[in-house]
Amino acid sequence: MWHDEKRRVLIVDDDHDFAASLALLLEMEGYDVVVAHDGAAARDAVTAVAVAVALVDIRLGHEDGVAIAIELGRQRPELLTVMVTAYASVQTAIKALQAGIYDYVCKPFEPAELLATLARCFDRHRLAADRAQAEELLRRSRRMEAVGRLSAGIAHDFNNLLTVVGGNLKLLQEELARGAAGDPAIMRELVGDALGAVEDGICANRRLLAVGRAQPLLPRVLDLGHAVEQVVSRARHAFGAGITLELSRLPVDCLAVADPHQLEASLLNLIFNARDAVAGAGTVRVELEPCDLQPGSAFLLADMAPGAYAGIVVQDDGCGMAADIAENALQPFFSTKPAESGSGLGLPTAYGFARQSGGNLLIESEAGVGTRITLLLPAMPSRP
């Protein structure tokens, strides 16, 4: 809703009589008017009250009205300024408009002309407010969608685990009710299955903590080349004959401070995702790419300092992702795989680990071509 206080107009004019007459006209039209006769008073007025539009005389004694208007705009960026001038010229108009002034009117002017200009100003304010409201509603909708997907995913995963635990405990209870006739081997199997489901729940909880960047990390200095080599070696047994897993490592040390266990889990997630993407025949490449990110780099997020980073790259020549899929790939429980094939926490977990470690996760993908994912971690100077 457009509140009355938003219809406040500031008149800045050193001619007291003209300012008073103009204020009376605008008040009769329902505007809330504030009057200032010099730059200092205008600055004070803009600071003290919410002003939507300023009518500024282009000459205020020895002061430059355009300079004052620019300063007022810096104080209140949403302020729209209309210059009032008795010197009707193209040069005056160009000077004012190039300085960011919204519009100008020339003295003497018809009241209808001024009121029409003010109406355009307030229409623009209304449009800006409507757009801001629409954008906020869209952001809120997306947040609720993400929360809903997260809640549904958590409920689905833990409901499955609780079903396993509850079913095994119920069978164990029945077996115990048989007394001496109960089979100890069956009871041990039931307890083992229940404990296995509990362990799965603990692992799922750790992944959720990683997504929320709340997992406890135990970072230490790692030789990333050696660490990546070990992970790739462990992953090879899970690759079929038609898929090639290649590793390219640097001849020099690449050091970083990270939790080795979370690094392994995150990298395995990326490698297995790449394996699934090539669908039985293709190549997955893993390599290290040191990089020096300068200020303003698109890879740097707001809380990341410029400097040396180590990129662990996992690239495949598989199916790739369409733009809308890649855009949502880091959302928890978002997955294009069948429900039984993935929880939708692999990429979000790796992203959470990277962010918690001071880095980032970058996705480059094209449908039908393949995917390249880079896990960025802050790097340390190499050993002498």
The encoded tokens of residue 349 equal 């977990």
DSSP state of 214: -
Asked whether the beta carbons of 160 and 110 are under 8 A apart, the reply is no
- In single-letter form, the type of residue at position 143 comes to R
Q: Does domain 220-380 have CATH number 3.30.565.10?
A: yes
Distance, CA of 67 to CA of 153 (rounded, Å): 57
Domain boundaries, the chain: 4-109, 144-211, 220-380
% of the chain residues with pLDDT over 70: 82
Distance, CA of 364 to CA of 372 (rounded, Å): 5
Q: Looking at per-residue confidence, does 36 or 213 come out higher?
A: 36
Q: Looking at per-residue confidence, does 267 or 89 come out higher?
A: 267
Q: What is the pLDDT of residues 339-382, one digit of tens each?
A: 555 556 778 888 888 888 899 999 999 888 899 999 999 998 76
Q: What is the pLDDT of residues 191-238, one digit of tens each?
A: 888 787 777 676 666 666 655 555 667 888 999 988 999 888 888 888
Predicted TM-score of the model (pTM): 0.51
What CA dihedral angle connects 329, 139, 210 and 303, to 10 degrees?
A: 100
Q: How many CB atoms lie within 10 A of CB 144?
A: 10
pLDDT of res. 251: 60
| 4-109: CATH, from 3.40.1390.30, 3.40.50.300, 1.20.120.1200, 3.40.50.2300 | 3.40.50.2300
